[in-house]
Amino acid sequence: MSDGTRLGILTYRPNHREIPKDSMADQQHNAYLPGYDQVKHHEWRTVENSAAYILPELQNRVAANPGLKLLDVGAGSGTITVSIAKYMPEGHITACDLSEDIVSRASKHAEEVGVTNVTFREASVYELLQTFGENVFDAVHAHQMLCHLDSPVQALAEMLKVVKPGGVVAMREIDMRMWSIYPNTATMKAWLRVQLGVHAASGGSNEAGPSLIAWAMKAGAKRENIRAGMGTWMYSTPGERQVWGKSPLPHSRLLSEHSSPGFSAARWVWKCNNIRIAAWSAPVNATLRIAGAPSCGEVIRRLLQTRKANMNYPGTSFRDRITNGEMRKKALELQLASEAELDEMGEEWQRWIDTEDACCGTMHGEILIMK
């Protein structure tokens, strides 16, 4: 197999081998390439729209054991966690993630919506046994986490260790190859090839969804104890489409100081000293006044201050990742596309967002493992 060619079909890389137990503690794992700035997209997710497959099993278990203890691994900003909590009001959820900032954000979200039966903490999926102990939880849940890992089997083995005998491990993972987009333009097809290439090169799996059964069995689960299915996401309403295109900056704070009425702007870009800061926004009744605009250093200073101060800014989307995020950097490093091609992909995502009949669907593997 070749390593793939620029903007061509990218090949699967078999990097999910089993790791000897005596080497697990010292194993260095890949970083989470999308980063944690995309939390606003993640905050669209709830158990109802993203993990409904677990609800019948969860409700049956809660009926038999109202004090059920659940571990949510890679919980991110906690919206799925908090929505699960309402189905087990007498139980307790421990939710963990690697990022201190995202754990803090998740805890704040739970507090804001009045959920008190969830505890958030930092923890690695590769160290669950060390962190929590063996046979502790009645259920363990993970959502869209294994697809980002270079050692999903190792992670799954840790999840199985901390769940009690008779407990359940549940997870949902995307099949990155199964994007169904309309309008499916040549530029969108090129974007998907770049997405697959960057994801695989960063240590993740493009085939996580259909690999779940195999990974579970390699982690020690018996086939007869695994229930598997497929689920989907669908983005079609204006609000759903905007999930993929909101700007990482609240435009009101930067534009209001350097604007004049009477102009509707969808994109604003500063170029200074070869540093390009770009952001997208919904149409606003303002435009950047070129005369007297802030200096490059001042723009960057305000940019950083705004990102730090406003915890409610919309997070990066696929459009933003391809125009100024880590995905763009990696794509250029791998020579999967040129600067101009990546810019066009970002613009194509904005056109998709603005197209009334546009839609996008994705497919996901779902499994329940009975221990």
Angle, alpha carbons 136-58-39 (nearest 5°): 85
Domains and CATH numbers, the chain: 29-175+203-235+363-370 (3.40.50.150), 242-354 (no CATH)
Q: pLDDT of 138-153, one tens digit each?
A: 999 999 999 999 999 9
For residue 29, the tally of other CB atoms under 10 A from its CB is 16
Q: How many CA atoms lie within 13 A of 315 on its CB side?
A: 16
Establish whether the linkage from the previous residue to 183 is cis, with ω within 30° of 0. yes
Give the Å distances, CA to CA, from 293 to 103, 253, 260, 281, 296: 37, 14, 12, 19, 9
CA–CA separation, 257 vs 288, rounded Å?
A: 9
Least confident of 214-223, 235-244, 277-286: 277-286
Please, which residues have CB within 8 angstroms of residue 179's CB and are 6 or more apart in sequence?
Answer: 192, 360, 361, 362
Which sign, positive or negative, has the C-alpha torsion 191, 192, 193, 196?
Answer: positive
Least confident of 39-43, 57-61, 100-104: 39-43
Residue 191's nearest CA partner among 362, 349, 41 is 349
90, with CB counted inside 10 A (0-12, 13-18, 19+), is exposed
pLDDT > 90 in the chain, percent: 62
The one-letter amino acid code at 312 reads N
Q: Is the pLDDT of residue 364 over 50?
A: yes
Q: Is the pLDDT of residue 11 over 70?
A: no
36, 316 Cβ separation under 8 angstroms: no
Q: pLDDT of 294-324, one tens digit each?
A: 444 444 444 344 333 332 333 357 788 888 8
> For the chain, what is the radius of gyration of the CA atoms?
22
Q: Considering the entire predicted model, what is its pTM?
A: 0.73
CA–CA separation, 336 vs 334, rounded Å?
A: 5
For residue 127, the tally of other CB atoms under 10 A from its CB is 13
Let me know how many helices (H) and strands (E) the chain has, helices first: 15, 9
